[in-house]
Amino acid sequence: MNVPTHEPREVAVGKLLSARKQTLAVAESCTGGLITHRLTNVPGSSAYVIASVIAYAYQAKVAALGVSWDTLNRFGAVSEETVTAMARGVRERFSSTLGLAITGIAGPGGGTPEKPVGLTYIALASAGDLIIEKHIWKGDRIQNKEQSADAALQLLYRYLTRG
């Protein structure tokens, strides 16, 4: 299910969060705050956006989100395991209904054959659910960040509109 073209994803998500009286905390790495920037461009977003953490370095993921050093050392910052810990950690630390997290390799450097530039993991955590998506974008750094933010907001939208 896609967002109607006449309404930006962040507006649709905001309406849904407000209507359902749900709150959101966001943990961003590769997007550097772009998701939160888009969410908070919407008037009234303070009613549902509780907090946002830009956890770029390993140390920040550990200190701010509770990701374990073991997880980072075993799986790396860009992994399903790390994005899961980020989503659950931000949700728990800020007592929000939902925790949205993203980590990836925006480029142009930093990629490997196993983890290429454009690899991105997104996770959405609630009290009873965990949804994880993996994407590999083809684009430059800015395009990868924008595609990642779009995908995160789309995941949130699909979660909020599911039957």
57 contact partners, CB below 8 Å, separation of at least 6? none
Q: What is the pLDDT of residue 1?
A: 46
List the chain domain ranges. Answer: 9-161
- Are 56 and 65 in contact by the 8 Å Cβ rule? The answer is no
Q: What confidence tier does 6 reach under pLDDT thresholds 50, 70, 90? A: confident
63 contact partners, CB below 8 Å, separation of at least 6? none
Q: Which long-range contacts (CB under 8 A, 24 or more apart) does 58-61 make?
A: 61/29, 61/85, 61/86
- pLDDT tens-digit series, residues 80-115: 999 999 999 999 999 999 999 999 999 999 999 999
141: buried, middle or exposed (CB in 10 Å: 19+, 13-18, 0-12)? middle
* Residues 51, 61: Cα–Cα separation, whole Å: 15
| 9-161 CATH pick, 3.90.950.20, 3.40.50.12780, 3.40.50.150, 3.30.70.260 | 3.90.950.20
